[in-house]
Structure 1
Amino acid sequence: MPSLQSVRRKIDSVKKTQKITKAMKMVAAAKLKRTQERILAARPYALKMRDAIRTLSRRVNRDAHPLLKKREGHRIEVAVVTSDRGLCGAFNANILRTAAAALKEFESAGAKVQVIVIGRKGRDFFRRRGWTVRREIVDVFDKLSFEHGMLLGNELQALENYSANRIDAVYAIYNEFKSAIQQRVVVERLLPLDWVVEISDLKEADRGTEQVPGGYLYEPSEDELLEQLLHRNFHIQAYRMLLESSAAEQGARMAAMDGATRNAGELIKKLTVYYNKTRQAAITKELMDIVGGAEALK
């Protein structure tokens, strides 16, 4: 049976841990509010840019734009976005499990795969595996800005490599922010732009747009405008993915620390009950010894 002193020390230790997890929950909640505002502000811009590219892609010669061409995916590059820190529940485990399954699927189809890792947790994971890691990017989430999205786009070098036929497809695996308590792992293909060809959902978007005889008026030309949007869109989507992952991370950490705080409270209650029972049993035993000794002296 443990001594009363050891139980007291354990209660004090759990109380200190509870204070830490509660503080971390409050910090994560504050960060979540800021990142949530940013992702909700960035999403409409990114989606509108996609709509603009979809509309333009129907009016130009797609063969003239390398980023719109589709080919067999024998050389694939995968960007895996994780966090730099832990204590966020299954946030990183879900991403890494999905990434490992996707990479194995690509390789089983005969593709040559290389990985770009964003975040320390992903870096540590892939260092212990056999996949080729072309680039590691860490410490970008503390002061996340659009420059980091451009950095990721430039590090991927996907636009130049895809146009030069050095890679056949680019995928991104990240956590999409749904709410403070819900995230969704997304495997998104960045290149080739498969969503450009799907135009069935554009009829509603075309309504209400000012038209002129013969079509739309564009300045500069449709081909030049599409070329510029295709390159800018790649950086916008990279920035959006980082924002999605950052907001999802803070939501997961807040939920994890909230659960840890509640669990610590329950553990403190159980230890306190155990401490009181043990203390009462010790007092009862001492009283019985005293009474027994008094009876022996009679």
Structure 2
Amino acid sequence: MAASLQDIQRRIASTKKTRQITSAMQMVSTSKLSQIQRHGGSYTVYADALHDVVAHLATAHINNVSGTLLEQRHVSKVGFLVLSSDRGLVGGYNSTLLKELMARITERQLTPDQVVILAVGGNGADFFKKRGFDVAYEYRGVSDVPTFTEVREIVKTVTTMYDNEVFDELIVGYQHFVSRISNEVHLEKMLPVSTEDLEESKDDSKYTADYEMEPSAEQILGVVLPQYAESLVYGAIIDAKTAEHAASANAMSSATDNAKEIIDSLGLQFNRARQSAITTEITEITGGMAALD
């Protein structure tokens, strides 16, 4: 019985240490989530303004879009930019995303030869490598609150590969941050840029007058459009990182709660075992005294 009590005590001590670790990790993830939400809020202002400019130029001034990121071409290969995490301890963040990506590939009846994977995050890269897909680009170690300067290599590589016709269409797959307790998978076609989407989202109230442009609207669009495509990719990375921190905070919160339940259960088990041991000792002492009498 004494050995059993010691075993329970060791389990309680071990679980308490685990709870301390998961609680600390939850606080760290929550802090990172707050930081990236502030950063993402300021970036959204720039992204929205850039979107309005591109929408106005692309839909109001351009008739011939050949040779730009707006050009629709025959799709021989589809690029998938997969935004996953480098580490675990994020609940179903990665598994849900990768399952949806595989479902989309199957739905479109794409073979591995028709798919080009661009992986940001180790989980996505390892997943598709094991399944025989061409991982043409891989980036690990994105910081917790990425700046545009840090991920410039990623966005430049993506747009350059599209320009060089490594793939003819780009689908970006990531977990979209909905709230602190909820994420949802987004699979968005980002390249070529859709003129229909731009037309639908254009706010005409911001542009009530005609403008004379120098240089031409076509030349301006040629400069602004790549920046817009880069902003879409960067915005998706920010969104994915926000969702990752939320998933991590939730996973660590659940782990902390589970550890507390285990500690309470072990404590009850320990008290019962100790009570049983005391009862047994009293019985033995009483029996011994009766034998002496």
TM-score normalised to structure 2 length:
0.91
Q: CA deviation at 1:93?
A: 1.4
1:40 matched to 2:48? The reply is no
Q: Deviations over 1:187-221 (max 9, x none)?
A: 0111111254552443xx1114341xxx3333432
Partner residue of 1:234 out of 191, 210, 229: 229
Q: Deviations over 1:117-142 (max 9, x none)?
A: 11122222223222111111001224
Q: How do residues 138-177 of structure 1 correspond to structure 2 at under 5 angstroms?
A: 138-142=140-144, 144-156=146-158, 158=159, 160-177=160-177
Q: RMSD over aligned Cα, in angstroms? A: 2.1
Checking the alignment, whether the CA contact within 8 Å between 1:15 and 1:264 is kept in structure 2 is: yes
1:189 matched to 2:184? The reply is no
1:253 matched to 2:254? The reply is no
Instruction: Rate the CA distance shift 1:242–1:108 in 2: closer, same or farther, 3 A.
Output: closer
Q: CA deviation at 1:155?
A: 2.2
Instruction: Rate the CA distance shift 1:128–1:109 in 2: closer, same or farther, 3 A.
Output: closer
Comparing 107-116 with 236-245, greater Cα deviation is found at 107-116
Instruction: Rate the CA distance shift 1:279–1:62 in 2: closer, same or farther, 3 A.
Output: farther
Checking the alignment, whether the CA contact within 8 Å between 1:53 and 1:196 is kept in structure 2 is: no
Instruction: Rate the CA distance shift 1:174–1:230 in 2: closer, same or farther, 3 A.
Output: same
- Give the equivalent residue in structure 1 for 2:32: 31
Identity, % of aligned positions = 32
Partner residue of 1:121 out of 120, 123, 129: 123
Checking the alignment, whether the CA contact within 8 Å between 1:76 and 1:111 is kept in structure 2 is: no
- Secondary structure, counterpart of 1:67 in structure 2: coil
Checking the alignment, whether the CA contact within 8 Å between 1:79 and 1:118 is kept in structure 2 is: yes
Structure 2 unmatched runs, 5+: none
Q: Deviations over 1:121-176 (max 9, x none)?
A: 222222322211111100122462112332112222x3x44445442201110112
Query: Residue type of the partner of 1:209?
Result: Y
Checking the alignment, whether the CA contact within 8 Å between 1:57 and 1:196 is kept in structure 2 is: no
Query: Residue type of the partner of 2:205?
Result: R
- Secondary structure, counterpart of 1:270 in structure 2: helix
Checking the alignment, whether the CA contact within 8 Å between 1:73 and 1:111 is kept in structure 2 is: no
- Secondary structure, counterpart of 1:150 in structure 2: helix
Cα distance in structure 2, aligned partners of 1:239 and 1:268: 43
- Secondary structure, counterpart of 2:270 in structure 1: helix
Checking the alignment, whether the CA contact within 8 Å between 2:117 and 2:137 is kept in structure 1 is: yes
Instruction: Rate the CA distance shift 1:140–1:166 in 2: closer, same or farther, 3 A.
Output: closer
Query: Residue type of the partner of 1:294?
Result: M
Q: How do residues 1-80 of structure 1 correspond to structure 2 at under 5 angstroms?
A: 3-58=4-59, 59-80=61-82
- Give the equivalent residue in structure 1 for 2:268: 273
Checking the alignment, whether the CA contact within 8 Å between 1:115 and 1:133 is kept in structure 2 is: yes
- Secondary structure, counterpart of 2:183 in structure 1: strand
- Secondary structure, counterpart of 1:60 in structure 2: coil
Partner residue of 1:207 out of 201, 205, 208: 205
Between Structure 1 and Structure 2, how many residues are aligned?
291
Cα distance in structure 2, aligned partners of 1:146 and 1:208: 27
Checking the alignment, whether the CA contact within 8 Å between 1:76 and 1:114 is kept in structure 2 is: yes
Q: CA deviation at 1:241?
A: 1.4
Query: Residue type of the partner of 1:17?
Result: T
- Secondary structure, counterpart of 2:86 in structure 1: coil
- Secondary structure, counterpart of 2:175 in structure 1: strand
Query: Residue type of the partner of 1:206?
Result: D
- Give the equivalent residue in structure 1 for 2:86: 84
Cα distance in structure 2, aligned partners of 1:266 and 1:21: 14
1:295 matched to 2:290? The reply is yes
Query: Residue type of the partner of 2:30?
Result: A
Comparing 284-293 with 44-53, greater Cα deviation is found at 44-53
Checking the alignment, whether the CA contact within 8 Å between 2:112 and 2:132 is kept in structure 1 is: no
Q: CA deviation at 1:278?
A: 0.8
Q: CA deviation at 1:78?
A: 0.7
Structure 1 unmatched runs, 5+: none
- Secondary structure, counterpart of 1:64 in structure 2: coil
Instruction: Rate the CA distance shift 1:172–1:230 in 2: closer, same or farther, 3 A.
Output: same
